[in-house]
Structure 1
Amino acid sequence: MPVISTPYAFNESQLYVDLKSIFGRSLYLKCEGFNFAGSIKLKAAIEMVESAERDGLLKPDSVLVESSSGNLGVALSTIAASKGYRFLCVTDSRCNLSTRLLMEALGSEVHIIADLDANGGFLGARIEYVRALCASDDRYVWLSQYTNPGNWRAHYRKTAPEIAHEFPGLEVLFIGAGTTGTLMGCARYFRDWHHPVRIVAVDSVGSVSFGGEPGRRMIPGLGMSMRPPLLDESYVDEVVKVEEADTIRACHRLARHGFLFGGSTGTVVSGAMQWLAQNEPRDLTAVAIAPDLGERYLDTIYQINWLQDLYGDDILDFDEVSAGSRRVEPRRRTSGRRPKP
């Protein structure tokens, strides 16, 4: 029986769901939402906070500040409450109401940005707001998940080895691309592994992470309105971009079978199923990472009025392809020295 004294000491990350009975194709979904922060972001949050502590950046009167669309904000709220730090999360109007309330319940302060940046997103505006806060008071400590190597290092040290242990014959790994911390940590680890693993990044249509035109994105989690500073495309074999309508259909299809997952998971599953439909010559050993669960999306992707207002009355027509990317883009790896974790 595990007994813990800090909330971040528990993280059940060795649970997988076999999706073949739901989607008709073999795919093992690694569930990362079973911890007190409710998402995979707890791993990166711990790594970044403890690294800042080792480097002497955090002092008793420090105020952690971070830009987050939700999950990292909750993870940092959990850690800050446990360690006695103040935490201020800078988010935007797309952040789910339940996520904001959860951060506040944990004692954090939440600032909501309403102004769009030059790419039609909120990220640039959020970052400028954080920079202004840090310039105004030296007690603010910005971990900067977008540039902090601890973001990817957490997954090099934990997430990828967990997958390798359970699936020694792994052939393809599907990873959602947001800040690309999970993507880069896992991709770097499997580049060093004893046999090749195809790395497929899953992104949202409207994101500019891998190029393309910016567009409206209403579901927080994956995608960026700027190129992720952590991204090194030489580690990525292919990119799948998924329409938000297909994300929603994948989420509801999973829910119809009793699995309530978040929007990021719906995107990854949708992209993975499309890739497998196009590329599966046989039963591959394939794993996808599910970043979170679905309770925080009850007022958005699981709320019919919200869906119909944004996507139309036919959004949940399950006769349509429920897992659909619009394009799969190959990426040619280049050689070079790997950063050390």
Structure 2
Amino acid sequence: MPIIRTPQEFNEDELFVDLRAMFDYPLYLKCEGFNFAGSVKLKAALSMVDAAERDGRLNRDSVLVESSSGNLGMALSMIASVRGYQFICVVDPRTNLSTRQLIETLGGKVHMITEPSPDTGFLGARLDYVRELCASSPRYVWLNQHANPDNWRAHYRTTGPAIHRQFPDLDVLFVGAGTTGTLMGCARYFKEHRPAARIVAVDSVGSVTFGGEPGSRMIPGLGAGVRPALLDETFVDDVVHVPEIDTVRTCHRLARGGFLFGGSTGTVVSGAAAWLAEHRRGKDVVAVAVSPDLGDRYLDTIYQSAWVRDIYGADALDAVERLTPPNAIATGVR
């Protein structure tokens, strides 16, 4: 039994869900939501804060400031509360209400950007505000998850090795692309330690990360309106773009099996299933996908039928409602 003194000391790093019965593909889902911050972003947050402290950038008078769609803000708010820093999280309207409330409950402040930049969307507008704030006083310290190498280093040290320990013969790894910290850390690790593994990035339709056309996106987490500075495409073997309606349907399909995951997980699983159907149908394959968070913070959006139908159309969930009952899926009955 682990005994801890601070919340960031605990993170379940060895839990995988076998999705074969639910999706008919040999896909293992690495669950990163079982820590006190509730997401994979705890690793990046801790790595970046520790590095800033070692470098002397953070001191008792510092005010942490970060642009976040939610999960990193939650993780930084938790760490800031433990270590005595003030924290300002810059968000936009897509950030879930429950996440904003959690950040404030832990002592952080939330600044909402209400108007997107005409060229770079909400992300660009958030980053512009952070730059202006930092220029106003040296007290503000921006860790900048979008360009900070300690973001991907966290996953090079932890997430990649954890997957490799459980699946030494890994064939394909699916990782969602947000800041690309998780993607780059895992990709760099496997290119060194298991070069035969294929790295597939999963992105949202409407994201510009891999050169796609910018478009409206309502689900926070994956995708970007500004190309992430951390991204190095030489480490990526393939890219899958997932429409948000497929993200929503996949989340509901997982929920029918008793697993409540977040929007980023729905995107990654949907992209993984589509890629496996096209490239590895009927073949034995060892495939792993990374699940960034759980679904409790999405109850008012992805898992709210009225919200889904208002955004994506009256028939958005019809395909999910026709699914085989979960007990039939679990027992293999058709």
Same fold, TM exceeding 0.5? yes
- Deviation of 1:197 after TM superposition, in Å, equals 0.6
* Paired residues of 2:68 and 2:91 also in contact (CA < 8 A): yes
Moved over 3 A (4+): 319-322
* Paired residues of 1:14 and 1:162 also in contact (CA < 8 A): yes
Q: Deviations over 1:160-208 (max 9, x none)?
A: 0000000011000000000000000000011101441100000000000
Q: Which residue of 1 aligns with 2:276?
A: 276
- Deviation of 1:144 after TM superposition, in Å, equals 0.3
Q: Which residue of 1 aligns with 2:295?
A: 294
Q: Which residue of 1 aligns with 2:11?
A: 11
Q: Deviations over 1:65-95 (max 9, x none)?
A: 0000000000001100111111100000000
* Paired residues of 2:249 and 2:320 also in contact (CA < 8 A): no
Distance 2:262 2:279 in 1: 26
* Paired residues of 1:64 and 1:85 also in contact (CA < 8 A): yes
Distance 1:112 1:45 in 2: 21
- Deviation of 1:120 after TM superposition, in Å, equals 5.7
- In the alignment, structure 1 residue 204 sits paired with structure 2 residue 204: yes
Computed over aligned residues only, the root mean square deviation of the Cα atoms, in angstroms, reads 1.3
Q: What is the TM-score normalised by the length of structure 2?
A: 0.95
Aligned residues with identical type, % of pairs: 67
Distance 1:16 1:120 in 2: 36
Distance 1:178 1:310 in 2: 22
What is the 5 A alignment of 1:87-236?
87-119=87-119, 121-236=121-236
Distance 2:182 2:216 in 1: 24
* Paired residues of 2:120 and 2:226 also in contact (CA < 8 A): no
Q: Unaligned regions of 5+ residues in structure 1, if any? A: 323-341
Q: Which residue of 1 aligns with 2:69?
A: 69
* Letter aligned with residue 308 of structure 1: R
* Paired residues of 1:207 and 1:223 also in contact (CA < 8 A): yes
- In the alignment, structure 1 residue 317 sits paired with structure 2 residue 318: yes
Distance 1:321 1:170 in 2: 33
* Letter aligned with residue 131 of structure 1: R
- Deviation of 1:321 after TM superposition, in Å, equals 11
Q: Unaligned regions of 5+ residues in structure 2, if any? A: 324-334
Aligned residues: 322
* Paired residues of 1:119 and 1:214 also in contact (CA < 8 A): no
* Paired residues of 1:119 and 1:226 also in contact (CA < 8 A): no
* Letter aligned with residue 24 of structure 1: D
DSSP 3-state at the match of 2:316: coil
- Deviation of 1:118 after TM superposition, in Å, equals 2.6
Distance 1:119 1:185 in 2: 29
* Paired residues of 2:68 and 2:89 also in contact (CA < 8 A): yes
* Structure with the largest fraction of helix: 2
* Paired residues of 1:120 and 1:215 also in contact (CA < 8 A): no
Q: What is the TM-score normalised by the length of structure 1?
A: 0.93
Distance 1:235 1:194 in 2: 12
